[in-house]
């Protein structure tokens, strides 16, 4: 019997990559308008290459990008234009996937405890939950970005089990990344569900359940 459901955050509850793509494109366009001498398509490709290298949560990525592509100089006019453009798009496109709120309400009505285990930094995780008015649904929020204990490391999963005070086999973990979410949760003895609707990265680890839409979770948790 499932007594708790733990969710990854980005690309599981929140359409993070859609927001990141659109906001980054807006930032690149603003930098070009402010004097960046680079074709837009190439600039976007290079920016996302830097995200892969430094992490999607790097708060200084635009600074690094400008220095690297502006002869080592950090042009603050260019940076300001990029940051403002990025933030404007981010605020409009940081949204939960369809049916997220409905599913969370139904799970709470069934007496299921809910949690978050995210690789985002703790401040960013709480800000996203606050922006989307999802904070009050969760009994625990564990965010470990930048600590060296990101999933699939067992530390965040162990902390979740301890704080929920529920056996691992009575917990269902929902995430989009097979190599981080599914591997890590299965090692701890949790049931697993792959959020295929938000999946960005492929992996060989098989989940116990596949979710085409988060609303499928209601059939899994009975």
Question: Residue 120: CB partners within 8 Å, gap ≥ 6?
Answer: 9, 10, 57, 128, 143, 145
Q: Are residues 100 and 86 in the same domain?
A: no
Q: Are residues 50 and 153 in the same domain?
A: no
Q: Quick check: 171 and 6 in contact, CB under 8 A?
A: yes
The predicted model gives 124-146 an average pLDDT of: 91
> What is residue 172's predicted lDDT score, i.e. its pLDDT?
98
CA 155 vs CA 117, 118, 147, 165: distances in Å: 11, 12, 11, 15
What is the CATH classification number for the domain harbouring 68? 1.10.150.520
Arithmetic mean of pLDDT over the chain: 94
Q: Are residues 114 and 8 in the same domain?
A: yes
Q: Are residues 78 and 162 in the same domain?
A: no
Instruction: State the residue for tokens 């979410």.
Output: 181
Domain end among 78, 93, 108: 93
Domain end among 37, 68, 93: 93
- The range of the structural domain enclosing residue 83 comes to 17-93
Compute, in degrees rounded to 10, the torsion defined by CA atoms 166, 170, 173, 174.
-120
> What is residue 86's predicted lDDT score, i.e. its pLDDT?
96
pLDDT more than 90, % of the chain: 84
Q: Are residues 86 and 121 in the same domain?
A: no
Q: Are residues 87 and 110 in the same domain?
A: no
> What is residue 146's predicted lDDT score, i.e. its pLDDT?
63
> What is residue 85's predicted lDDT score, i.e. its pLDDT?
97
Q: Are residues 113 and 216 in the same domain?
A: yes
Q: Are residues 189 and 109 in the same domain?
A: yes
> Taking the model in full, what pTM does it have?
0.87
pLDDT at 193 over 90: yes
Q: Are residues 103 and 44 in the same domain?
A: no
Structural domains of the chain, count: 2
pLDDT at 91 over 90: no
**H helices present in 110-153, as ranges:** 122-131
pLDDT at 201 over 90: no
46-85 residue pLDDT tens? 999 999 999 888 889 999 999 999 999 999 999 999 999 9
Q: Are residues 148 and 133 in the same domain?
A: yes
Domain end among 93, 120, 139: 93
What is the CATH classification number for the domain harbouring 155? 3.40.50.1000
Q: Are residues 186 and 103 in the same domain?
A: yes
Q: pLDDT confidence of 203, banded at 50, 70, 90?
A: confident
> What is residue 144's predicted lDDT score, i.e. its pLDDT?
87
59, with CB counted inside 10 A (0-12, 13-18, 19+), is exposed
Q: Are residues 63 and 84 in the same domain?
A: yes
């Amino acid at each position: 019997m499932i007594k708790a459901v733990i969710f990854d955050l980005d690309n599981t509850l929140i359409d993070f990559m859609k927001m990141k793509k659109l906001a980054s494109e807006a930032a690149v366009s603003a930098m070009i308008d402010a004097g960046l001498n680079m074709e837009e398509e190439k600039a976007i490709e290079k920016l996302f290459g830097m995200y892969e290298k430094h992490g999607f949560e790097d708060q200084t990525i635009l600074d690094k990008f400008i220095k690297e592509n502006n002869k080592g100089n950090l042009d603050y006019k260019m940076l300001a234009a990029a940051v403002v453009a990025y933030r404007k798009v981010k605020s409009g496109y940081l949204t939960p996937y369809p049916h997220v709120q409905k599913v969370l309400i139904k799970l709470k009505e069934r007496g299921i405890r809910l949690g978050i285990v995210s690789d985002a930094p703790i401040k960013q995780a709480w800000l996203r939950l606050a922006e989307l008015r999802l904070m009050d649904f969760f009994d625990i929020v564990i965010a470990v970005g930048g600590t060296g204990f990101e999933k699939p490391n067992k530390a965040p999963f162990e902390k979740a089990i301890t704080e929920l005070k529920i056996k691992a086999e009575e917990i269902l973990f929902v995430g989009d990344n097979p190599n981080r979410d599914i591997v890590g949760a299965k090692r701890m003895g949790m049931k697993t569900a792959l959020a295929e609707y938000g999946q960005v990265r492929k992996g060989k680890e098989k989940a116990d359940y596949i979710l085409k839409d988060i609303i499928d979770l209601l059939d899994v948790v009975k």
